[in-house]
Each structure stands twice: as C-alpha cells, then as structure tokens.
Amino acid sequence: MSYLDELFGLKGKTALVTGGGRGIGQTVALGLAKAGAEIAIISRSGADETVKLIEKEGGKAYSLIADVTKEADVDKAMAEIIKRSKRLDVVFNNAGVCIHKSTLEASIAEWREVIDINLTGEYIVARAAGRVMIEHKIEGSIINMASMSGTIVNIPQWQASYNASKAGVIHMTRSLAVEWCEHGIRVNSLSPGYIATPMSVDTPAELKNAWMPLIPQHRMGKPEELVGAVIYLASGKSGYTSGSDLIVDGCYTCF
C-alpha cells in the first residue's frame, strides 16, 4: 500500500453519490471509485453511463433511480444499498438545480422547486444516511454540496432561491455535524465557485463574460479540481474535520 493509499484510500468503503449521472457528480463518483470505494449512485433518470465508466476503470458501481425530494424513494434506495453493499461509509450529497430569475419574475413554484431539491432533498438524504450509519455503528462521512453562493451574492444574475438554499445547506451541515458527533459521523459541506459543468456551460455568454473579471484566477474551475477535496473529507484522515465548509472558488470569495 502506498503512502497516499494509506492516507486517503477508500478500499472496503461504500460511497453514495446523488446526482451522479453527469457533471460534478459523475466526476466525483469516478474519483471516489479510483480511491477504492464501491459506488452507489442515486439519480432521477439513472446513471448507467457513470457506472460503465467506473467499471471500465476496474471499479465497482451500481445505479439506483430515486427522487431525493421523496422520503420513500430515498429510504428504499438506502435499504437497497445496505442489501447490496452491506454498509454505507460516505455520502456525496450532490443533487441540485439553479434558476436564474429575479425575485419579482420568479414564481413561488420555482422557489419551492429549488429549495425542495437543494435544501430539503439534501436534508432527506443526510437524515436517511445518518440513520443508517447510526444503526450499523458506522463512523461515516457526509459531504453536502453547498456553493460559494451560500456565502456571497452572485452578480449580475439574480438567484435568490439558489443562494438561500445553499446558505441553508451550510448551516444545516454545521447543525448535523454537532448533533451526530457522538456517533462519530462527520458532516461537512463543499462550496465550489463557478465550475465548467453542463449547468454552467449552458449559461448565457453575457453572464459568463461578466463573471471572469470577478474571478481572481480568471477562469472557471474544472470538476476534476473538486475530487481531491471530496476524497479528503471522505477519508479517515480528516477525522477532526467536521462542521466545516470547504470553499473551492479560485479566490472569488476572498474580497
């Protein structure tokens, strides 16, 4: 075993990734698999492509169809993970959406859609995972997807629902971290800046052109640049890190 494997290896662990069919979720699922974990992926439409990519690299993975906003779906998926993998050690709680509309233009239905998926959905998944880890006496790691938008207000686009949802995720993370400390379960959040994924690549050019001068590194991040942060938080070597929000944003929030 190499020194890096000893530090950050996940062999023998099972990791759940929500929203792992594309973008950040797919990239992180591949990274966790390369670190040795067996990967369970939850998505609304399946993640067969991600599973095939992991298996092509010699890893183990399977896909489960579930809607993270529905407790029954998530509970069924958790039961299937325990049935197939016998354990759950890591959760990358990643499923999310964003709607760019001003507050006066956005409907209450759109507000609820964003809050339901980004905040309530992450709460449902974290709650179900925490229950499983406590029941099976697993000292696991839950990594909630937040955003730099939970710390700053993005410009020039208006997205109050998204910003509010991600701020909620950050404080929910802290709350769960303290609540589950006695069980050895660590809960942290990851806050990316602008990352080149299908969600952001399809953004109108005028918005992206406005972002670049505001990013000190003058570029969007790559999904691959989040993998190391997730593996650190997933590994046992981050045992004293809980309730933290790890910002990966090219220095955007530094000023």
Q: Which residues are catalytic, by number?
A: 147, 162, 166
Asked if residue 43 lies in contact with residue 65, where contact means CB atoms within 8 angstroms, the answer is yes
Q: Is 202 exposed, middle or buried (0-12, 13-18, 19+ CB in 10 A)?
A: exposed
Amino acid at the residue 164: A
DSSP H/E element including 50: helix 48-56
Give the bridge partners for 186, in sequence order: 141
Whole-number Å distance between alpha carbons of 127 and 91: 11
Asked if residue 227 lies in contact with residue 27, where contact means CB atoms within 8 angstroms, the answer is yes
| Segments of 54-94 assigned E as strands | 61-65, 90-93
Amino acid at the residue 51: V
Distances, alpha carbon 111 to alpha carbons 47, 65, 98, 157, in Å:
27, 24, 10, 15
CA-wise closest residue to 39 among 48, 139, 30: 30
Whole-number Å distance between alpha carbons of 139 and 185: 5
The alpha carbon torsion through 147, 68, 93, 35 (nearest 10 deg) reads -140
